[in-house]
Structure 1
Amino acid sequence: MKTGTVTAAIAAALIVTAGVSGCTSGASAGGSVGDSVGDSVGKKAVDSAETLVAALTKASDEASKAGSADIRMSVTMPGTGGKPTQVSGVYSWGNGLAMEGEMSAKDLQMEELVADGTITYRMVGGAYYYGIDPAPSGPFKGKSWLKVEASAILGEKGAAGLNAGNNDPTAGLKSLKWASNVTKVGTEDVNGKSAVHYRANIPLDKLGEAKSAFGAMGGGSATELVSDIWVDDKGMPARLNQTFGEVAVNVDFVSFGVAKEISAPPAADTADMTELIKNGGAGQG
């Protein structure tokens, strides 16, 4: 398993934590969407922009109360030939930040480590765990999990976003008040449900800790985060798509409130690859 493939896996699970909720630190920079629009087109536009932001903030508040969500996600990054990494699983923030899901072993170039073509992964306490078939010999002998600390890929600052406040997959919607513009695109169907589509552009200097996360994933020279958000008829987020340079992330919220305890695998069953990855080494795979 090579460093680049671990980066893709880390990014897929990380994006709804540091990538989204890390945006909330933009408040200190000053200047809201209302200020920006108001300066150019007057009070009527300010009211309209504030109304849109209020709707998104309410959706964020309601979703945050749920404590967990069943999600389907894809992440596309530079160097992948435009092929997205697919993720599905449960994301929990009600009792500590955690996630558990499944990814294609082929996407991670880990086909030789599992027989069924699927990697089960967990994110717990800022570390990522990848389930593998126990090997009869070699460095992974008898181990059924591989561990990688997020800092091995994102650095200490980027990984800090995982444990920052307001870490749930919708908290970043509150940061839209710092967007350079917010628009209502229209009403569309999302997974069989009618949803209102909003779009916002958040400047780089308003992203806070998320800048480190997006940068680690290959954001390049991007100057803003483009967010498309769909809110269903119950006022809950149904979809969140974000683009930052060549990094594209699409998240579908299938359902909320699917509470599930997610814990780290037993240490005796785990091979820690953090230092290997930090040193640019490669394991079997």
Structure 2
Amino acid sequence: MRMRHTAAWVAFATAALVTASGCGSESVKSAVKTVDKADKAMAALARATDRTEELGSAEVRMSTDLGTGTPIAMDGTYSWGDGYAFDVQMDTKAANMQAVNHSPKTHVLFVHGVYYYDVDAFPSGPYQGKDWIRVDGSALFGEKGAQALSGDNGSPSASMKGLKYAKDVQNLGTQTVNGRRTTHYRGVIDRAHMGKFKDVYGEGSPMGEATGTKSIVMDVWVGSDDLPVRLKEKLGVMTISMDFDKFGKTVSVKTPPAARTADLTDVIAKQQKQQG
């Protein structure tokens, strides 16, 4: 069982760390007061943030490198109009989940702060016959960290809002990304300006300790329609990159049947305490 729990934990950590670095719910527009280069960049990012927030979902392709040099790929739908949720397919081998799933892709859901993994049915034991694993976000981020990521706070638009706290926001010029002409912006958010997200990535937090995050370097490529084409974040040893293929209305992500679900929240939380 330990191999199963360890595999689930690694996948959980990967799926959870998407673009959860938003630092507030206010509009970035409040930070735009002058017309110098930095403020022009902030104004462009404010438009992109507000446009993203107005919509409710996106089809995305994402890559997460936990510092191992082997990125874990995921693709699917992210929704944030009615609370942050996602429905994605994850590379099983890269996520080290072969012990619990023999399919090349693992179906992962996130709904109401809880992660669900579609796995091989447990052959025996207390979870016999169950083919979904359930893990509450508090097992990874702690109670305070999970609360900081509640609601829409983990969404792509929330991440972009974090740029209002960034230092030295730069316009790095035009670049072609996925066949589209974009403008590349970069900003750095230090620990002092992470707001409530210090509970997620700050000193002493589970993820802060795991990744060594002292600041968040955020790159955004914005298209001519004022929507992000690519979002990339560097958090300590971890790098997250998300490409947006299509935006749309809010979609509903439903939880799997309870009768088919094994709740491993307590098991993984205890394991993390033992390892920590």
Question: Could you tell me the TM-score, scaled by structure 2's length?
Answer: 0.85
Alignment partners' CA distance in 1, 2:246 and 2:152: 23
Q: Conserved in 1, the CA contact under 8 Å of 2:7 and 2:100?
A: no
Q: Conserved in 1, the CA contact under 8 Å of 2:56 and 2:80?
A: yes
Q: Conserved in 2, the CA contact under 8 Å of 1:12 and 1:74?
A: no
Deviation digits for residues 123-144 of structure 1, max 9, x if unmatched? 1111111001223323431101
Unpaired runs of at least 5, structure 2 = none
Deviation digits for residues 197-233 of structure 1, max 9, x if unmatched? 011111211112333333533231x432111100011
2:223 maps to 1:232: yes
Residue equivalent to 1:37: none
Alignment partners' CA distance in 2, 1:98 and 1:190: 26
Over 3 Å counting, the alpha-carbon distance change for 1:61 and 1:12 in structure 2 is: farther
Alignment partners' CA distance in 2, 1:58 and 1:9: 34
Give 1:154 shift: 1.2
Residue equivalent to 1:192: 179
Residue equivalent to 2:199: 212
| Residue identity in the other structure for 1:146 | I
Residue equivalent to 2:39: 50
Residue of structure 2 aligned with 1:264, choices 251, 255, 269: 255
2:109 maps to 1:126: no
Give 1:180 shift: 1.3
Alignment partners' CA distance in 1, 2:129 and 2:5: 22
Over 3 Å counting, the alpha-carbon distance change for 1:166 and 1:147 in structure 2 is: closer
2:17 maps to 1:15: yes
Give 1:271 shift: 0.5
Over 3 Å counting, the alpha-carbon distance change for 1:8 and 1:56 in structure 2 is: farther
**Per the alignment, in what secondary structure is the counterpart of residue 219 of structure 2?**
strand
Q: Conserved in 2, the CA contact under 8 Å of 1:33 and 1:181?
A: no
Deviation digits for residues 52-87 of structure 1, max 9, x if unmatched? 101101101111111011111111224xx2222211
Deviation digits for residues 134-175 of structure 1, max 9, x if unmatched? 233234311010111111111111111221455421223223
Two-structure CA RMSD over aligned residues (Å): 2.5
Alignment partners' CA distance in 1, 2:130 and 2:74: 23
Unpaired runs of at least 5, structure 1 = 35-42
**Per the alignment, in what secondary structure is the counterpart of residue 53 of structure 1?**
helix
Over 3 Å counting, the alpha-carbon distance change for 1:11 and 1:137 in structure 2 is: closer
Q: Conserved in 2, the CA contact under 8 Å of 1:24 and 1:175?
A: yes
Identical-residue share of aligned pairs (%): 38
Alignment partners' CA distance in 1, 2:9 and 2:62: 16
Matches within 5 A, 1:87-98: 87-98=74-85
Residue of structure 1 aligned with 2:58, choices 69, 74, 77: 69
Residue of structure 2 aligned with 1:253, choices 240, 244, 252: 244
| Residue identity in the other structure for 1:9 | A
Q: Conserved in 2, the CA contact under 8 Å of 1:151 and 1:159?
A: yes
Residue equivalent to 1:38: none
Give 1:4 shift: 5.2
Give 1:112 shift: 3.5
Give 1:182 shift: 0.7
Matches within 5 A, 1:96-107: 96-107=83-94
Give 1:193 shift: 0.8
| Residue identity in the other structure for 1:237 | P
Q: Conserved in 2, the CA contact under 8 Å of 1:90 and 1:258?
A: no
